[in-house]
Copies of this chain bind each other. A is one copy, B any other.
Amino acid sequence: MPGPGEFELIREYFGSRFNTGARQGSDAHTVALGIGDDCALLNPPAGKVLATSVDTLVAGVHFPAAEDPFRIACRALRVNLSDLAAMNAEPLWFTLALTLRDSDPQWLEPFARGLAQTANQYGITLVGGDTTKGPLSITIQVTGACEQPLRRDGAGAGDRVFVSNQLGAAAAALPLILREVDGSVTQMEQAYAAYHFPEPQFAVARAIGPYASAALDISDGFLGDLGHICEASGLGADLDLDNFPVAELARSMNGETALETALTGGDDYQLCFTLPEKHLQTVQKLQLPITAVGRMRAAAGIQCSLDGKPWQPGATGYRHF
């Protein structure tokens, strides 16, 4: 069906809602020209390094095609913001490349609303985009500014390994969201919150920025992502799982295998970071929602212990939706 053209689409659903372009708001000093020209024109903050990341979510792969568009938008932008948080960057601008089967207002309106709500919450401005016809997919590129970037290649042998908050909720949520299993109202609420509204860990990143030696966000599962820090830093790690922060939903849904869910489940977007011993006391005094789970070591590989005994998870990696 011939819907409205590309230009009208962008203008109608995104132009007005996002206050794009030059304006009086908090981003007036960085956005010289927003949506509507060949390029957006942006003034980078002086003396800072820019951090940028792009992610694509494909219907039928990263989310069910029939999923609520409001939730899809919230999750898509939050997942991208998490990459900025993991770098200790403050959000500045983002672009949206949206491919749609047709220009259905019943889909676009809640999608744009979810995107705008999330953008406003995290102080990031939509500065450009492209709308094309085709199989539903969403590509978002976020850009932020940072003074103390947290890379994944800076860990040292002996550094403590930390994770933020709890892990395993998003993986435990998936069977509930897909209605493969039944759950209580509380479990469903926890599932939607964990899966659709992951919280980019800006506050934790900002607090640990001056002290941490390496960091990333846990998108593919803790063990795999810690493996990226190990590989990038040329190290291994010893983990003590006795106090590993397993999310309540993982415990209530998965019982005996909850620890494995927390170690290998993806989509939580919590931070994993390493901290040199000398900063341990300083960071502990900050009373952050973080747990020490192990220590980096020179020898490659990741060794786990539970109750003083070696322990191995039954599964690794993660399952896309």
Q: Which residues of A contact B (CB under 8 A)?
A: 32-33, 36-44, 46, 49-62, 83-84, 86-87, 89, 93, 95, 97, 99, 127-130, 132-135, 137, 139, 141, 144, 146, 149, 151-153, 216-217, 232
Contact = CB atoms under 8 A, between A and B. Distances in A.
A134 B59 CA distance: 8
23 contacts: A33-B149, A37-B153, A37-B216, A38-B51, A38-B53, A38-B83, A38-B84, A39-B83, A39-B86, A39-B144, A40-B52, A41-B151, A46-B46, A52-B93, A54-B141, A55-B97, A56-B97, A56-B132, A57-B132, A60-B134, A61-B134, A97-B141, A132-B137
Contacts of A38: 51, 53, 83-84, 86-87, 152, 216-217
Given A52-B127, A62-B132, A36 B232 contact: yes
A307 to B, nearest CB: 33
A42 B93 CA distance: 14
Contacts of A153: 37
Contact of A51 (B40, B60, B97, B137): B40
A59 to B, nearest CB: 8
B41 A44 contact: no
A39 to B, nearest CB: 4
A42 B128 CA distance: 19
Nearest to A59: B134
A217 B37 CA distance: 10
Nearest to A98: B56
A56 B130 contact: yes
Nearest to A127: B52
A42 B37 contact: no
A41 B33 contact: no
Given A43-B50, A97-B139, 13 more contacts: A37-B216, A39-B53, A39-B84, A39-B89, A40-B51, A40-B52, A41-B151, A42-B49, A52-B95, A56-B99, A97-B141, A135-B137, A139-B139
A38, A41, A52, A144 interface centre (most CB from chain B within 10 Å)? A38
A107 to B, nearest CB: 17
Contact of A141 (B61, B89, B95, B151): B95
A152 B146 CA distance: 32
Contacts of A93: 52
A132 B62 CA distance: 9
A58 B216 contact: no
A77 to B, nearest CB: 15
Contact of A128 (B39, B53, B84): B53
Contact of A39 (B87, B137, B232): B87
Nearest to A53: B39
Contacts of A86: 38-39
Contacts of A49: 32, 41-43
A37 to B, nearest CB: 5
A40 to B, nearest CB: 5
A58 B134 contact: yes
